Amino acid sequence: MNRIIFSLQTFSTILYWLTAALLTAFLLLGCKAKQIDWASECAVRYPVKETFIHGKDYFHTDTLRGDCVIVNCDPIILKAKCPPTLTITKTINRVDTVVKTNTAEISLYKREKEASDTKYYNEQEKRITAEETAQKSTKQRNVSILVIMGLVAFAFRKQLINIFKLIIGLV
């Protein structure tokens, strides 16, 4: 006699959990994601742009005058009279500037500007379409009013002719 060990419901439950376990194992272990060094990737895509600006030369001259020499010995201080001396120091200064431009930030601003321009042009097209629709519906309304007035005039033409004769006769 054949005995059924598992019922169909038990078998489908076991199959469900086995599939879920295999899928989870595959997702966790089967695929190893490549590690990306975002700093170097950003540096390669958006290098820093450097601009060197030469500065101007600034000349500065200092003159120092000295009249005498003082010699300091422990017991005696001697002052000797000597001819006046001039010490001239000439200094040249130049400040050069290095401007570093963040190209990643510039690229971000360009993308934002393109997105806002696209949004602006889409809004302009919607506005133009709405204005054309409004003009078209205004023309249709005016034509409808004229047609209705023509039909009313045609329907009541005898009465209108009598009113017109009455007005002309009074004048």
> pLDDT tens digit string along 47-73?
888 888 888 888 878 776 666 656 666
* Cα separation, 123 vs 131, whole angstroms: 12
> Would the pLDDT of 101 be above 50?
yes
In a domain, 6, yes or no: no
Number of domains into which the chain is organized? 1
pTM over 0.95: no
Phi then psi dihedrals of residue 70, to 5 deg: -105, 125
Nearest to 71 by CA among 81, 63, 62, 58: 81
Angle at 62 between CA 56 and CA 68, to 5 degrees: 165
What percent of the chain clears pLDDT 70, i.e. is strictly above it?
Answer: 79
Identify whether 98 is part of a domain.
yes
Distance, in Å, from the CA atom of 150 to the CA atom of 144, rounded to the nearest integer, reads 10
Structure confidence at residue 122 as a pLDDT band (50, 70, 90): very high
- Two structure tokens written together for 66: 């000295």
Range of the domain at 152: 39-170
Is 4 a domain residue? no
| Assigned domain for 13 exists | no
Give 143 or 71, the one with higher predicted confidence. 143
Q: Which residues pair with 100 in a beta bridge?
A: 50
Query: How high is the pLDDT of residue 146?
Result: 95
5 falls within a domain: no
Is residue 153 domain-resident?
A: yes
Q: What angle do CA 51, 57, 63 make, to 5 degrees?
A: 150
Question: Residue 24 — pLDDT band, cuts 50, 70, 90?
Answer: confident
Q: Is the pLDDT at 104 greater than 90, yes or no? A: no
In a domain, 75, yes or no: yes
User: Which residues, 6+ apart, have CB-to-CB distance to 59 below 8 Å?
Assistant: 90, 91, 92
Q: How far apart are CA 102 and CA 93, in angstroms?
A: 29
Domain-embedded: residue 19: no
pLDDT at 32: 63
